[in-house]
Amino acid sequence: MIICRHVSKTYEDNQCTALQNVNLEIADGEFVLLTGNSGCGKTTLLRLMLKELEPTSGEIWVNERNLADVRPAEVPYYRRSLGVVFQDFKLFEKKTVYENIDIARIVAGGRRKDAGIKISSLLAMLGIQQLHKRYPSQLSGGEKQKVCLARAIVNHPTILLADEPTGNLDPKASEEIMQLFGLIHKQGTTVVVATHDPESAEGLYDREIRL
């Protein structure tokens, strides 16, 4: 579960208020869209949930833990329960598809023993098993985002956060990516997607929260 209580965020360098008094609850297993105009704070809210930022005021609880109590040294362990998908992919250009996914597994302390089977099964589920030896420069935007999705879920996170995951994709690729989010949601993962394009997820999500 994710709970935000009276959450506000002001950036001190320019005194810009990105969020003001946000209250929301996202139940375990929900598929929720965060929507709103550009600059309304969707990305900021996800970064607060990821503990990349600290709120100016208010509380954020994730999986029954107050993020204010998560010390800096504990942040990497906290993030192991989260999967994250970015709009701009953030893939390692000199690593293959397989290696990009395997890095996420290694960072989270995954066992090497079953790595090959796990990653191969994941690529097959996402329909990109034939791409495992390719490099990001050899992939389309939709294929890159599928690799990012595989990387995000290789460690079986309880919560999947996505920031405008279809922002750089054409309509067909956008629909494919959202269908995959729907598939992951059906497997029991809590999915939170910040998007300006809720139509691409039509029929897949449980609820829309407009900021």
pLDDT tens track for 100-135: 998 888 776 656 666 777 888 889 989 899 999 999
The CATH architecture that domain 27-46+80-210 belongs to is 3-Layer(aba) Sandwich (3.40)
Q: Would you list the domain boundaries of the chain?
A: 27-46+80-210
SS3 31: strand
To the nearest whole percent, how much of the chain has pLDDT over 90? 60
Q: Dihedral angle at the C-alpha atoms of 191, 193, 199, 202, nearest 10 degrees? A: 0
pTM for this prediction:
0.89
pLDDT, one tens digit per residue, over 161-180 is 999 998 878 888 888 899 99
pLDDT at residue 161 in the model: 96
List strands edge to edge, sheet with 16-26.
16-26, 2-11, 57-62, 65-66
pLDDT at residue 16 in the model: 79
Decide: 175 and 152 in contact? Cβ < 8 Å: no
Nearest 5°: CA angle at 178, between 133 and 90?
45
What average pLDDT does range 61-83 have in this prediction? 93
